[in-house]
């Protein structure tokens, strides 16, 4: 795209590099100044988890930040809204390419600092803590943290004031009147911003397709107390470890039902420790160590487990597979999934639930019991937020394209004068003048493949996918000095039926006899692949190696 000229005047621009047009790995950039000397800040720096089927062998995916590397000298800082992986998970991986200050509220600092320690970066980067409701100034950006509610301690909206106007970056949010942990949404400050005048609101789109309200943690707590009190046998509850308020509700329900809490899974213990260090969970009961679990009578125990998404390495899967050293469940026991199904995880979760059911365990989920509420705003909450903030421009983020487009339509319905969808890599000018996409920057994904960070296009996931579908054939041809076959071709096959080898052998010897054979390796490769396809209906990955003697 041709860059539109600004005649050297200062502009305020918004550029999403992740999370706009996909779920996960949020990374948003704001720039202010004339095009060639803009100052930049980044809001959030998250990851998306790799999938066995589409990206085999890839643990994490994160945004391609080539653009930011190029403007690194003018990058003033990374500001984190809250501690979910899709907002902070890439800091430890991408920060070495950017090396700028990072700011967050104390609980988020705890979580990021732990990741930096794991990456051996703690001596190079100390995340700067900002108190709840605090303000920081980075060049032309004056940033105010505004408390809101979500599904993790300390979610923040950011009011970003610039000489060209104020942007409210909502981060992830909902309006929970009874969040159980932390303050309620700071509605007066948000309404105040509306009076002051807001140029643009960059807003969470996750649940724009959901009508009504998301519901409150307080209601879930009351429901869990009733449900857990009614259950006989052992009770295990799985929830997102980062939903600390939920963990506290579950522990309270356990206490009232005369059950001791056993934490099962590393992430669960880590999150509870982090929350305690940040000053939360002072009333959380003392928990029992896993090793002592077998000694507690069935009706007096509650296991709080990781693994609500069917993750194979997490506690609940290992329990279901009878592989857990200390915890086992069987006939008459119960597992409550106090969580939702993250799209894409359905098969794993249903397999886990079937394994539990096969053992005689009663599986309770949000489909049959009120055991979960979302952390994102449904339509009535979005409408309330727009009525308070009254932005001139709505910029939907944090969603797939269908969410962003519906959010833009909804914002127009709510009388927001302009609503613009900008997807990853599209630079949106917010001011001066009408909002407009003025540039396209490189975007895409980086794959963390083992310990190696590679661009998705240079990565190995695609190759591995073909291997998993149709296997591999290696053919070694030994040629003499006159390039005649000096021995029988050597075949090496992985994941290919043996019967296919005969067909490929005949095709290769026919190909070798043909007169004009040009690039011999390629000629043999194509012949072998075609033969496999005729015999088997599938085209394996074929590699041919010539050895001349």
CB of 20 to Zn ion, least distance (A): 12
CB of 61 to Zn ion, least distance (A): 15
| Token pair for 340 | 């939702």
Nearer to Zn ion, 171 or 310 (CB): 171
CB of 171 to Zn ion, least distance (A): 7
Nearer to Zn ion, 84 or 355 (CB): 84
Nearer to Zn ion, 172 or 260 (CB): 172
CA distance 42 to 31: 9
CA distance 339 to 337: 5
CB of 225 to Zn ion, least distance (A): 26
Nearer to Zn ion, 84 or 429 (CB): 84
CA distance 475 to 142: 64
CB of 221 to Zn ion, least distance (A): 20
Nearer to Zn ion, 172 or 449 (CB): 172
CB of 241 to Zn ion, least distance (A): 13
CA distance 487 to 466: 30
Q: Do residues 460 and 529 make contact, with C-beta atoms less than 8 angstroms apart?
A: no
CB of 205 to Zn ion, least distance (A): 11
Nearer to Zn ion, 199 or 241 (CB): 241
In this structure, the dihedral spanned by the alpha carbons of residues 220, 222, 225 and 226, taken in order and rounded to 10 degrees, is -110
Site string for Zn ion, 70-109 (x = CB under 5 A): --------------x-x-----------------------
What is the residue-wise DSSP string for 395-456? EEESEEHHHHHHHHHHHHHTT-SEE----TTEEEEEESSS-EEEEE----EEEEETTEEEEG
Residues facing residue 157 across a β-bridge: 146
φ, ψ at 454 (rounded to 5°): -130, 155
Q: 263-290 in b/e burial notation, b at 16+ Cβ within 10 A?
A: bbbebbbebbebbeebebbeebeebbeb
22 binds Zn ion (CB under 5 A): no
CB of 319 to Zn ion, least distance (A): 27
Instruction: Name every residue whose Cβ is closer than 8 Å to that of residue 165 and which is 6 or more positions away in sequence.
Output: 12, 197, 198, 199, 200, 430, 431
Cis peptide before 432 (omega within 30 of 0): yes
Residue ranges in 151-180 that form contacts with Zn ion under rule CB under 5 A: 172
CB of 84 to Zn ion, least distance (A): 4
Q: Do residues 380 and 213 make contact, with C-beta atoms less than 8 angstroms apart?
A: yes
Nearer to Zn ion, 55 or 81 (CB): 81
CA distance 197 to 165: 8
CB of 26 to Zn ion, least distance (A): 6
CB of 253 to Zn ion, least distance (A): 24
| Token pair for 267 | 């992430």
CB of 173 to Zn ion, least distance (A): 9
Instruction: Name every residue whose Cβ is closer than 8 Å to that of residue 164 and which is 6 or more positions away in sequence.
Output: 10, 11, 12, 32, 199, 430, 431, 432
Nearer to Zn ion, 87 or 234 (CB): 87
Nearer to Zn ion, 48 or 272 (CB): 48
Instruction: Name every residue whose Cβ is closer than 8 Å to that of residue 418 and which is 6 or more positions away in sequence.
Output: 392, 393, 394, 434, 435
Nearer to Zn ion, 30 or 317 (CB): 30
DSSP class of 290: G
| Token pair for 295 | 């000694």
| Token pair for 251 | 């522990």
Residue ranges in 429-448 that form contacts with Zn ion under rule CB under 5 A: none
Nearer to Zn ion, 210 or 526 (CB): 210
Nearer to Zn ion, 154 or 213 (CB): 154
Site string for Zn ion, 195-234 (x = CB under 5 A): ----------------------------------------
The CA–CA distances, whole Å, from 273 to 13, 60, 62, 92 equal 39, 24, 27, 20
Q: Contact residues for Zn ion (CB under 5 A)? A: 84, 86, 172
């Amino acid at each position: 795209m041709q860059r539109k000229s600004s005649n050297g005047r200062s502009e305020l621009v918004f550029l999403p590099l992740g999370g706009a047009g996909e779920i996960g790995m949020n990374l948003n950039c704001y720039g202010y100044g004339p095009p060639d000397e803009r100052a930049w800040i980044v809001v959030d720096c998250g990851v998306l988890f790799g999938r066995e089927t589409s990206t085999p062998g890839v643990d994490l995916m994160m945004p391609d930040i080539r653009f930011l590397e190029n403007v690194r000298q003018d990058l003033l800082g990374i500001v984190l809204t809250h501690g979910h992986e899709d907002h902070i998970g890439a800091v430890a991986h991408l920060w070495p390419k950017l090396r700028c200050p990072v700011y967050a509220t104390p609980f988020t600092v705890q979580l990021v600092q732990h990741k930096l320690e794991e990456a051996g970066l703690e001596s190079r980067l100390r995340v700067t803590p900002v108190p709840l409701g605090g303000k920081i100034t980075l060049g032309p950006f004056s940033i105010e943290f505004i408390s809101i509610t979500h599904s993790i301690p300390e979610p923040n909206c950011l009011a970003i004031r610039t000489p060209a106007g104020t942007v409210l970056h909502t981060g992830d949010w909902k309006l929970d009147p009874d969040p159980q942990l932390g303050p309620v949404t700071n509605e007066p400050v948000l309404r105040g911003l509306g009076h002051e005048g807001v140029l643009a609101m960059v807003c969470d789109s996750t649940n724009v397709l959901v009508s009504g309200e998301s519901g409150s943690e307080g209601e879930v707590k009351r429901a869990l107390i009733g449900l857990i009190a009614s259950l006989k046998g052992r009770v295990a509850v799985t929830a997102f470890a980062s939903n600390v308020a939920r963990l506290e509700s579950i522990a309270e329900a356990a206490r009232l039902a005369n059950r001791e809490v056993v934490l099962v899974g590393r992430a669960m213990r880590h999150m509870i420790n982090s929350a305690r260090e940040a000053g939360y969970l002072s009333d959380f009961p003392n928990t029992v160590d896993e090793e002592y679990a077998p000694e507690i009578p069935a009706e007096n125990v509650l296991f709080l487990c990781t693994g609500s998404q069917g993750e194979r390495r997490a506690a609940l899967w290992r329990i279901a597979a009878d592989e857990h050293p200390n915890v086992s469940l069987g006939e008459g026991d119960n597992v409550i999934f106090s969580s939702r199904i993250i799209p894409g995880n359905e098969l794993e979760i249903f397999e886990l639930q079937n394994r539990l059911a096969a053992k005689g365990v009663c599986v309770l989920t949000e489909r049959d019991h009120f055991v979960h509420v979302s952390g994102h705003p449904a339509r009535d909450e979005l409408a309330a937020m727009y009525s308070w903030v009254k932005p001139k421009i709505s910029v939907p983020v944090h969603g797939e394209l269908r969410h962003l487009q519906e959010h833009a339509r909804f914002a127009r319905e709510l009388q927001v004068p302009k609503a613009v969808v900008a997807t990853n890599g599209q630079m949106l000018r917010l001011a001066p003048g009408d909002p407009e996409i003025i540039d396209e920057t490189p975007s895409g994904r980086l794959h963390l493949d083992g310990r190696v960070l590679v661009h998705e296009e240079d990565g190995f996931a695609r190759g591995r996918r073909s291997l998993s579908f149709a296997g591999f054939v290696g053919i070694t041809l030994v040629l003499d000095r006159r390039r005649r076959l000096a021995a029988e071709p050597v075949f090496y096959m992985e994941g290919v039926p043996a019967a296919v080898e005969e067909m490929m052998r005949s095709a290769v010897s026919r190909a070798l006899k043909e007169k004009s054979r040009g690039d011999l390796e390629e000629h043999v490769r194509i012949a072998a692949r075609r033969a496999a396809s005729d015999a088997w209906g599938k085209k394996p990955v074929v590699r041919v190696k010539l050895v001349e003697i």
